[in-house]
Amino acid sequence: MTTATKKATTSAMIASFADEGQKTTKAPFGHALAGLAEQRQDVVGLSADLAKYTDMHVFRDAHPERFFQMGMAEQSLLAAAAGMAEVGLTPFASTYSVFATRRAYDFLCLDIAEPGLNVNVIGGLPGLTTGYGPSHQATEDVAILRGIPGLTIVDPCDSVDIEQAVPQLADSPGPTYLRLLRGAVPTVLDEYDYRFQLGKAAELRTGRDVLMISSGLMTMRALSAAAELAADHVDVAVLHVPTIKPLDRQAILAAVGGDRLVVTLENHTVVGGLAESVASCLAFAGVGERIVPIGLPDEFLAAGALPTLHDRYGLSVPQIRERVLAELG
């Protein structure tokens, strides 16, 4: 007699990556943008038929006269946002990361970045935050966009990062790309003496044995792994890097040194993302430090339930702990 394997449900494939019992905030981006629009009449929102799934619906409902539904036409979405910025508006254009980067790259590059317009592109489902396979998993979005001159790339950890980033993105004169965490977003950084500053990294935890340099949701995983590693008598520091470009090279160079193991953690392929950004930073500065990259492999990922995929591809806390102990061993 064989035991049937439990099939992953659709809900599990799109479920929040928050741990059970973890504190969360609902739709922090949508509420932050709606609140900002109360103060600034120039703020407008656009979506490519995905307002509900990028939390733009909160802004839409609060400011319907300043919301523009562009339909499933991402090139038109970014071109329209560029036109609005040209006449003095401050647009936030939301869609899935795969569509903003793969499908509408030329419009982002030449219509928005080349003239240096203040257009804020909001990319939902970055990296491995959906189980729907390669068509929806933007595992290489940072790698695609890092080469665009003048483009700021933000990879927030949690709801605190997102809420504080939105007004700073609006104030930033050039184009920005935000890797959006949507829905019930974990709230983690409120427990630390932390404020989001565009272009700046922040040390959240000190430690003598290991330095974890992390971005996005992997910062909360780094903090959890650091707490578990303490039980193994491993003291871990965590440097959160919410802005991938421009990179806070000064903070990274100041943190690296001594005999600590340096580990990078990112919800992105190890090709062209945070790990390579940190590695090039050290190499150009003449610092010969070995780096252990924890991130997604250079391959198209499987579909399935998020917890299973995070464990399979090494993003879960137990996998991080095991990797660090193996490297130290």
User: pLDDT-based confidence at 262, cuts 50/70/90?
Assistant: very high
Give tens-digit pLDDT for 265-293.
Answer: 999 999 999 999 999 999 999 999 999 99
Residue 13 pLDDT: 61
Mean predicted confidence (pLDDT) in 248-263:
96
Give tens-digit pLDDT for 85-126.
Answer: 999 999 999 999 999 999 999 999 999 999 999 999 999 999
Structural class in CATH, domain 199-328: alpha beta
- What percent of the chain lies above the pLDDT cut of 70? 95
Sketch the domain layout of the chain as residue ranges: 24-186, 199-328
Assess whether the region 24-186 and the region 199-328 belong to the same CATH fold: yes
pTM for the full model?
0.95
Residue 18 pLDDT: 87
Task: Characterize the bridge pairing of strands 291-296 and 261-269.
Answer: parallel
- From the list 250, 245, 244, the residue with the least C-alpha distance to 218 is 244
- Residue 299: pLDDT above 80? yes
Task: Output the furthest CA–CA distance in the chain (Å, rounded).
Answer: 70
- Residue 6: pLDDT above 60? no
Residue 297 pLDDT: 98
Topology of domain 24-186 in CATH is: Rossmann fold (3.40.50)
Q: Which residue has the tokens 């003239």?
A: 115
Q: Which two tokens stand for residue 47?
A: 């979506």
| Counts of helices then strands in the chain (DSSP H, E) | 13, 14
Helix axes 218-230, 317-328, angle to 10 degrees: 60
Mean predicted confidence (pLDDT) in 133-157:
98
